[in-house]
A = this chain, B = another copy of it.
Amino acid sequence: WSIVEKQGQLQLEKIYKFSDFQQAITFTNAVGNIAEDEGHHPALLTEWGKVTVSWWTHAINGLHENDFIMAAKTDEIYAKR
């Protein structure tokens, strides 16, 4: 994960690679499911062969422990796909 600043907000960002569009959007849905479960929502940029996931906490305009937990869960989803 990289820590990047976007529009003045620190965010955790990672690019996951896939071999086609379908696998990318399946991953987007899986990450979307944990987001809904936890009530904490990332930005998910889905493209052919890759998904860029960004986690941050709007309420504090930056990073909270929960973002790191969600980042780890996102890695787990990718590892188990």
Contacts and interface: CB of A to CB of B under 8 A. Distances in A.
Interface size class of A (residues with CB under 8 A): 10 to 19
A25 B28 contact: yes
B47 A35 contact: no
Contact of A29 (B29, B42, B48): B29
Contacts of A35: 21
B43 A46 contact: yes
B25 A32 contact: yes
Contacts of A42: 47
A28 to B, nearest CB: 7
Interface of A: 21-22, 25, 28-29, 32, 35-36, 41-48
